[in-house]
Amino acid sequence: MFAFFQILNNRICPYLGDWNRRLQLVYVDDLCAGVSLALTSEIESGSIYFIAEDRSYSYAELITQLRRAVGRVALPIYLPGVAVRIIAFLSENLLRLVGKPPMFTVEKANEILSDWEVSVEKAGRELGYRSRFPFPLGAQNTIHWYREEGWL
């Protein structure tokens, strides 16, 4: 996510791949609350829970919310998924040729271009977990923190 904040802060708005793909995220405070509930609950060891906001967003909605949180006008850049994968392939292989670790790999491109939806129903039922921070609020809190800490 930090990379998206950086890109938008630099006035570029990346529309990558399918804008309708669905993503479900978690704000750090909600994640900590979920982990705390799992650690303090009387549940069987080894249980697996998804901790996230209880709704997903389209990629276009996420970018719109991130752009609003950053508060800057940005130049939209539209890249289809195949172009993103080609850029990742070139980045990965060219940097390896010169002995540097690649930051953008094909694996990372596939991750960015995928749907990411989970069910938090089990965490709610067994742990009492419920997200408190919708993505727009989490994005605003995050950009504020990045700026306060001098990251952006």
Question: What are the pLDDT digits (tens) for 120-139?
Answer: 999 999 999 999 999 999 99
The helix (H) or strand (E) run that includes residue 22 is strand 22-23
Q: Measure the CA–CA gap between 79 and 43, rounded to whole angstroms.
A: 45
Q: Span 10-144: which CATH code? A: 3.40.50.720
Which of 61, 65, 70, 35 has its CA nearest to residue 50?
A: 35
| 133's tokens | 């921070």
pLDDT beyond 90 at 45:
no
The helix (H) or strand (E) run that includes residue 23 is strand 22-23
pLDDT at position 108: 92
Strands 57-58 and 75-79: unpaired
Angle at 14 between CA 10 and CA 18, to 5 degrees: 170
CA atoms within 13 A on the CB side of 145: 10
Q: Measure the CA–CA gap between 39 and 55, rounded to whole angstroms.
A: 24
pLDDT at position 40: 92
C-alpha torsion 57→60→62→63, nearest 10: 180
Q: For residue 64, what is the DSSP state?
A: H
Q: For residue 52, what is the DSSP state?
A: S
pLDDT digits (tens, 9 = 90+) for 52-100: 999 999 999 999 999 999 999 999 999 999 999 999 999 999 998 999 9
Read off φ and ψ for residue 102, nearest 5 degrees.
Answer: -75, 135
Spans of all domains in the chain: 10-144
74: which strand partners? none
